[in-house]
């Protein structure tokens, strides 16, 4: 069982997958930063100065007693949801383009490695001589 596990765990595909997961996590953070820090502020500016992080639908407001909160606010944070959807769409599009690029590269590599089709073989010398013999017998 240990041999099987070692064979599985240290096979190239598993290590490649681990590197991919780590790179994907880092890429996700970069995309989140791009969405939160670049895209959403520009969209907010274009939409009359809206801040998507503060967009929410309050179902019941917070109940305060002086400065202490007696009952917390119940709200649907749809602005945060919009940011996460934009985040997801960028990650999904990036992964789609990356997989498409990899598949295209694999196809090119397979075409380059495929041997050129062999020229059609003509009859051998023996076959030609047998045909000549048969034609001479007929005469």
Position 13 pLDDT exceeds 70: no
Identify whether the C-beta of residue 63 lies closer than 8 Å to the C-beta of residue 71: yes
Q: Which regions of the chain does DSSP assign to beta strands (E)?
A: 57-60, 63-65, 68-71, 74-76
CA pair distance 57, 132, nearest whole angstrom: 96
Homologous superfamily, domain 2-117: Large-conductance mechanosensitive channel, MscL; domain 1 (1.10.1200.120)
Angle separating helix axes 78-113 and 12-34, nearest 10 degrees: 140
Q: pLDDT tens digits for 28-57?
A: 888 888 888 888 888 888 888 777 778 889
List the chain domain ranges: 2-117
């Amino acid at each position: 069982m240990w041999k099987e596990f070692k064979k599985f765990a240290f096979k190239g595909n598993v290590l490649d997958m681990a590197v991919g997961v780590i790179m994907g996590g880092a890429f996700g953070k970069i995309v989140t930063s791009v969405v939160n820090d670049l895209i959403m502020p520009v969209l907010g500016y274009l939409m009359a100065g809206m801040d998507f992080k503060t967009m929410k639908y309050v179902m019941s407001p917070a109940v305060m007693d002086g400065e202490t909160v007696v009952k917390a606010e119940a709200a649907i944070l749809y602005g945060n949801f919009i940011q996460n959807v934009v985040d997801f769409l960028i990650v999904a599009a990036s992964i789609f383009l990356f997989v498409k690029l990899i598949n295209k590269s694999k196809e090119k590599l397979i075409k380059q490695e495929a041997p050129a089709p062999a020229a059609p073989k003509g009859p051998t010398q023996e076959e030609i001589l047998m045909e000549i013999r048969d034609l001479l017998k007929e005469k």
